[in-house]
Amino acid sequence: MPRHRNITEGNCIVKRGSAGLGLFAIDAFRKGDFVIEYTGEPLSTAQADAKGGKYLFRVDDALTLDGTGREHVARYMNHSCDPNCEAVIEEYPDGEKAVMIYALRDIAPGEELTFDYGAEYVEEFIKPHGCRCAACAGARR
Ligand SMILES: [Zn+2]
């Protein structure tokens, strides 16, 4: 029994998809719905640069979230060049920031949840082996 089998958060479940593990909708989302928070260990920019890794979400010039731990469910979301979700950085009155993922369009039950990781990530981690997102895979056919 694969150990990722029962990782869920809210309306999201981790499953094996076309590009390895991914995050999938359990029930439908409507456009604009909150999907999941991108959680992670808070690191300073210096700490994040020293550590490296694929699950670093740069929030701003001072803060990066490190989603490496398995409890950080949103990091299972794969990149897409034609995503169905977007990451929005929200700032609370006390100045603390959080990364919230919202549905860009209606999403059907069972559909893979994706967002655009941004140019810097794509350049460093995706371009070297080619993008495996559905939009790029379709374009290569
Ligand atoms: Zn792509």
Q: What is the pLDDT of residue 70?
A: 86
Residue 101 burial class via C-beta count within 10 angstroms: exposed 0-12, middle 13-18, buried 19 and up: buried
Structural domains of the chain, count: 1
Q: What is the pLDDT of residue 132?
A: 87
Return mean pLDDT, the chain. Answer: 91
> What is the average pLDDT across 28-41?
98
Ligand 1 centroid vs 62 CA: distance in angstroms? 28
Range(s) of the domain holding residue 24: 8-127
Q: Is residue 75 part of a domain?
A: yes
Q: Is residue 109 part of a domain?
A: yes
Tokens standing for residue 23: 């995050």
Largest CA distance in the chain: 49
| pTM for the full predicted model | 0.90
Tell me the one-letter amino acid at 78.
N
Ligand 1 centroid vs 118 CA: distance in angstroms? 11
Residue 35 has pLDDT above 50, yes or no: yes
Q: What is the pLDDT of residue 21?
A: 92
Q: How confident is the model at residue 1 (pLDDT cuts 50, 70, 90)?
A: very low
98-123 residue pLDDT tens: 999 999 999 999 999 999 999 988 99
The CATH number linked to 12 is 2.170.270.10
Ligand 1 centroid vs 139 CA: distance in angstroms? 9
Phi-psi region of 53 (alpha: psi -120 to 50; beta: other; left: phi over 0): left
